[in-house]
Amino acid sequence: MVKVIDNFLDDKELNTVIELSKNINYKNKTADNNWLGSRSDCLSKIDYNLYNNILNKAIYKVFKTAGNWKFEADLFLHKFPLKSKTSDPEEWWHYDSKASFAGVIYLNKYPERNSVTLIKNENKEIKVINNHYNRLVMYSSGIEHRPENPFGEEQDQRLTVTIFIKDLNFFIDGE
């Protein structure tokens, strides 16, 4: 499953995320976490309402269900600058094994050309998902993927909201 939804966040959510991205601390990868670039703390610790709104909107729009659900998830602001390109991009292919579904929301108004997400299907054919401002890309975590062409320095580097839905349960009222 791969879903692409343009104009995902409303203006207020988008402005809040962009302002947060300028005023929070980011962490580099550690022995326990092997991501490229740097990430914020989980948005649930920074702005719980924003975290909850983004996840509920993503679940509603991706799964097209009007029921009730319960989730366990992480959302991070993620910076991926040009200096991250120190290793071979072929080594960046990965699965998000600690989640059931994963995704990104692209936050750069004017991204560099070819700063895309590459996704391999079951036949190992590569699908290119373009980096468009305010685009949500969500996929099953068992799909192999990687970023392409990190860019920028401190103020203009590739910026996304990274989503990891670890557990998602749908239920009927009264359950």
- What are the tens digits of pLDDT across the range 122-131? 898 999 999 9
With tokens 């990190």, the residue in question is: 150
Greater confidence (10 vs 90) lies with 10
Amino acid type, 138: M
What are the two backbone dihedrals, phi and then psi, of residue 58, each rounded to the nearest 5 degrees?
A: -60, -45
pTM score: 0.90
Report domain extents, the chain: 2-171
Q: Model confidence over 57-111: pLDDT tens digits?
A: 999 899 877 668 888 899 999 988 766 666 788 888 888 888 899 999 999 999 9
Please state, as a whole number, how many other Cβ atoms lie within 10 Å of the Cβ of residue 170. Answer: 13
What's the pLDDT at 118? 94
CA distance 72 to 136: 19
Q: Model confidence over 75-89: pLDDT tens digits?
A: 999 988 766 666 788
Which of 74, 102, 81, 88 lies closest to 37 in space, CA to CA?
81
Greater confidence (28 vs 144) lies with 144
Burial of 48 by CB count in 10 Å (0-12 exposed, 13-18 middle, 19+ buried)?
exposed
What's the pLDDT at 134? 98
- Class (C level, CATH) for 2-171: mainly beta
Q: Please provide the average confidence, as pLDDT, over all residues in the chain.
A: 87
What's the pLDDT at 160? 94
What Rg value do the Cα atoms of the chain yield, rounded? Answer: 16
Burial of 149 by CB count in 10 Å (0-12 exposed, 13-18 middle, 19+ buried)?
middle
